[in-house]
Structure 1
Amino acid sequence: MTQYKIPVIPGDGIGPEIIREGRKVLETAGEKFGFDIEWIEYPHGADHYLETGELISEDTLKDLSKYQAIYFGSIGDERVKPGILEKGILLNIRFYFDEYVNLRPVKLLEGVWTPLKDKTAKDIDFVVVRENTEDFYIGIGGRAKKGKSKKTLEVIRNMYNVKFGLDITSDSEEIGYQLGLISKEGTRRVIRYAFEIAKNRNKHLSSVDKANVLSDIYGFWREEFTSIASGYPQVKTDFNYVDAVTMWFVKNPEFFDVVVSPNMFGDIITDLGAMIQGGLGLAPGGNINPEGTSMFEPIHGSAPKYKGLNKVNPIATIWAGALLLDHLGEKEASRQIVQAIEKNIVNNKIKTYDMGGSNTTTDVGDDIARLLKEI
C-alpha cells in the first residue's frame, strides 16, 4: 500500500472544522484506492502566534520541505492586525517554496446556482493559471515626503536577485509608490505550465494582461507568451485585456479553456471565476511548485464569526484535497471526489446554510465520504 505523509495546517477560525472534513474524505479515498495518509499537523496560526510570537520559523519551513504537498485550512484572526498572519505564514510559505503557479479550476457543478442567466455546467469549465510570485505582489514600495530621499529595495528569489536604488525628489506633500516586476524566467515557466495544461485539455490558451496601458511590464509578458506559443502549434491562443476578460467571463464563459495571467490580474479574475461557479464556498486552489513543495487550500477566508459552530460549507476544502491527490498522482481518486461532491449537490438533501440547507459541516463531509464509497 502506498503511504503519503501530508503536513496539515488547519489555521484559524473555521479552518480546523473544514480541514477535518477534508481529511475524512481523503482518508475514505485512500481506503477505496489503496493508499494511506499519515497527517502531520502543524499549529501555525493566530493562537500559536499569540502564545509564542512566532509566525512560521525557518526550521519549520525546512521541515515542510521534505513533503510534496501541504493541506492548508484558512488564516486570519480579528485579534491580530490584518496582514500579519497572511504575510507571515501564507505568503511566506508560497515564496519560500517558490510556489509559482496558483491553479484555480473554475467549474460549475451540476445542481449549483450561478448568477449567470441561462448558463449551465456545460458552459463553465475552465482553469486559471495565475503567476504567484512576481508582478506588483513582490512587496516592495514605500512612501516619500516632500524633498529628497533615497531608498534601496531588493527582491530575492531562488532564480535571481534584483536591487533598486531610488533617488526621489518630490514637491508633493507625500507620495506612496509600489514597484512591480516580472522576470523572463518567472514569466516563461508559468506560461509554459499553462500551455502544458491546455495541450491536455481542449487546446485553447487565453492570456490576460493590460499591455495597452502598462506596456513595459505586460508588453514583456506578451513577448514571452508569443515566443513560447511557437512551440505549441496545436494550441489555439488569444490575448485579452483584463477589463475585457471580466466582461467575457460573464457573457461567454464557454469560450475559455485555460487562462494564464500575471499575479495581480489573476488575483482579480479568479474571484470573479469563483462567483460564476457558485461562490467562495465551492472554490478550491493550489499553490504549486511542480518540482518542489506545493500547498492546497480553499480560497475563502477564516470566517471567525462562524468558528466552532459547525455550520460552514466544507466543499471548497474537500475539493482542494482532490487537487492535492491529483498532484500526488492519485488522479482517479481525485476525479471521484469531485464526482461525489457533485452528487451531494445534485441530491440536494445534505447542504449547509449558504446553499439553502440547515445541515452541519460534519453532515456534508459524512455525505460526500458516503457517496465516494458508492461511486
Structure 2
Amino acid sequence: MLRNVLPNIARPALQSRAATTLSAGLAGVTQRTSAKKYGGIYTVTLIPGDGIGAEITDSVKEIFKHVNAPIEWEQYNVSGMSSEGEELFKQAVESLRRNKVGLKGILFTPISQSGHVSWNVAMRQQLDIYASLVLCKSLPGVPTRHKDVDFAIIRENTEGEYSGLEHQSYPGVVESLKVSTRAKAERISRFAFDFALKNNRKKVTCVHKANIMKLGDGLFLNTFRRVAEEYKSSGIEYNDMIVDNTSMQLVARPTQFDVMVMPNLYGAIVSNIGAALVGGPGIVPGCNVGTEYALFEPGCRHVAEDIKGTNRANPAAMILSSTMMLRHLGLDNLANNIASATFGVVNGGKVRTADMGGSATTSDFTAAVIKNLS
C-alpha cells in the first residue's frame, strides 16, 4: 500500500491525526507478482527530467547510496525540450510498464504550436495513471503567512482540458474539446474518499465550475455527490466549491480544506497555490498513481530552468517524493529514516536553500540530510 507518506516529525505538535499517510487502496509493488525484484533489489525507472531535474534526482541517488537502499535505477534522460526524444520517451514508458514504479522530475512542455505533446500528460494517459496526489503541509522550519495548513489535492489526470483534442475549424477560430466521463469522475471521487477514510481525514471538497460548464463539470459534481452519499456512514463530511472562490478561500483561509478533489486543469492551478502557501515547490511532495503503476515526483510541477546547473535548487520535494516511493515498495523503515532526516534539516533552519531564504546549495542540503541520517 501507499502509506505513511511523511513521518511524525513533520506534524505540528497540536496535530493528532496522521495527516501524512497515503493509503488509497492501490496495491503495493510487494503485492504484485509482476513487480521487478531480484535478490531483494527493486528495479525502478528514473526520469530526471528537465531544468533542475538532474540535480535533485542526484541528491536522491546520493542519499540512497549512503543508506544502501535496495534500489537499482533504470535511468532515461528524456527531455521535453524537443520532439527528437520521442524514441527515448517510448523506452522510458516501456521501462515503467516493466517495473511498475518510477521516480521522475518534471518534463518541460513547449507552448508553441510546433511543439510536441506533453510527455507528462502522454505518460499518464498511456499508463492510465489517473490520480495525482499533492500534499501541502506547513512545516515549522519554513515561515509562511498561514500556520497549520494541511490538505491533500487529488486531481484527475487523464481527461478534462488535458485531453489534447483541439483543432482550428476556421482561420482564427480554434475549438478545444474538454472530455468528461462519469466513469472517470466516479473513479477519482472514490479515490478521494478512500484516501480520506484511510488517513483519518474528515472532509472532502469537490472543486468545479459547474455554474458555467453545466454539462461537463456538472457531470463531475453530480457524480461526486452520488459517491459521497455512499460514504455518509463513515462520518466524512463533503462539500463543493467553485474553482474561482476556491482560489480566494485558499489564500484567505486555507485551514478550512482537508482533502480536495477536482478535474485536471483546476488541480494544476490549485496545486501551485497550495505550494505557495507552505513555502514553494521545493518542499511539496507528490505522486501519480493508477491501478497498475505508481510514478513519484514533486507535487508542484516547475522545471526551474532559470537555476539549472547552478547548484541552488531545493531537493527536499524530490527526496520526500522518493520516501513515498520507498513506502510503496514496503521499505517503511528506510523511508522514515530519510524523511525524518530531511525534515530535521528543513525544520532546523541552519541549512536553507535560496527558496527558503538562505544561501545553501543543493549539495549542502543533501550533505546535511546524510549527516542527519540515523
What TM-score comes out, normalization by structure 2 length?
0.81
| Structure 1 residues 297 and 83, CA gap change in structure 2 (3 angstroms) | farther
The one-letter code of the counterpart of 2:159 is E
Deviation of 1:244 after TM superposition, in Å, equals 1.4
User: Is the 8 Å Cα contact of residues 79 and 85 (structure 2) preserved in structure 1?
Assistant: no
2: distance between equivalents of 1:274 and 1:66?
32
Residue 16 of structure 1, aligned match among 54, 59, 63: 54
Which structure dedicates a bigger proportion of its chain to strand? Answer: 1
Structure having the higher Rg: 1
User: Is the 8 Å Cα contact of residues 105 and 127 (structure 1) preserved in structure 2?
Assistant: yes
5 Å matches for 1:35-46?
36-45=70-79
1:346 — aligned with what? 347
2: distance between equivalents of 1:274 and 1:229?
27
Larger deviation, residues 133-142 vs 227-236 = 227-236
2:223 — aligned with what? 224
| Structure 1 residues 356 and 42, CA gap change in structure 2 (3 angstroms) | same
In structure 1, the gaps of 5 or more residues are 146-172
Deviation of 1:273 after TM superposition, in Å, equals 0.4
Residue 155 of structure 2, aligned match among 111, 114, 130: 130
User: Is the 8 Å Cα contact of residues 76 and 88 (structure 2) preserved in structure 1?
Assistant: no
1: distance between equivalents of 2:92 and 2:53?
20
SS at match of 1:178: strand
2:78 equivalent to 1:75: no
How many pairs were matched up?
332
Deviation of 1:11 after TM superposition, in Å, equals 2.5
SS at match of 1:301: coil
SS at match of 2:195: helix
The one-letter code of the counterpart of 1:101 is A
Deviation of 1:266 after TM superposition, in Å, equals 1.2
Identity within the alignment, % = 30
| Structure 1 residues 179 and 85, CA gap change in structure 2 (3 angstroms) | closer
1: distance between equivalents of 2:256 and 2:142?
20
2: distance between equivalents of 1:107 and 1:238?
21
Deviation of 1:264 after TM superposition, in Å, equals 1.2
2: distance between equivalents of 1:86 and 1:358?
37
SS at match of 2:117: helix
Residue 103 of structure 1, aligned match among 130, 133, 136: 133
| Structure 1 residues 226 and 304, CA gap change in structure 2 (3 angstroms) | closer
CA displacement, residues 10-65 of structure 1 (integer Å, 9 cap, x when unaligned): 1223211110002233445x54xxx5111111122268x68x65354545422320
User: Is the 8 Å Cα contact of residues 110 and 342 (structure 1) preserved in structure 2?
Assistant: no
1:364 — aligned with what? 365
1: distance between equivalents of 2:240 and 2:258?
13
The one-letter code of the counterpart of 1:36 is P
The one-letter code of the counterpart of 2:104 is F
1: distance between equivalents of 2:75 and 2:319?
17
Deviation of 1:257 after TM superposition, in Å, equals 1.4
2: distance between equivalents of 1:39 and 1:4?
8
| Structure 1 residues 142 and 19, CA gap change in structure 2 (3 angstroms) | same
SS at match of 1:93: helix
Deviation of 1:199 after TM superposition, in Å, equals 0.5
5 Å matches for 1:261-280?
261-280=262-281
SS at match of 1:367: helix
Deviation of 1:238 after TM superposition, in Å, equals 0.8
User: What is the root-mean-square deviation of aligned Cα atoms in Å?
Assistant: 2.4
What TM-score comes out, normalization by structure 1 length?
0.81
1: distance between equivalents of 2:219 and 2:134?
24
| Structure 1 residues 311 and 53, CA gap change in structure 2 (3 angstroms) | closer
| Structure 1 residues 312 and 57, CA gap change in structure 2 (3 angstroms) | closer
5 Å matches for 1:107-118?
107-114=137-144, 116=145
| Structure 1 residues 278 and 86, CA gap change in structure 2 (3 angstroms) | farther
5 Å matches for 1:1-375?
2-28=40-66, 31=68, 36-45=70-79, 54=86, 56=88, 58-76=90-108, 87-114=117-144, 116=145, 119-120=146-147, 123-145=148-170, 174-200=172-198, 201-233=200-232, 234=234, 235-289=236-290, 291-298=291-298, 299-371=300-372, 373-374=373-374
After the TM superposition, list the runs of 4 or more consecutive aligned residues in structure 1 that deviate by more than 6 angstroms. 83-86
2: distance between equivalents of 1:81 and 1:207?
29
| Structure 1 residues 279 and 68, CA gap change in structure 2 (3 angstroms) | same
1:161 — aligned with what? none
SS at match of 1:196: helix
Deviation of 1:285 after TM superposition, in Å, equals 2.3
2: distance between equivalents of 1:104 and 1:84?
31
User: Is the 8 Å Cα contact of residues 68 and 328 (structure 1) preserved in structure 2?
Assistant: no
SS at match of 1:343: helix
In structure 2, the gaps of 5 or more residues are 1-38
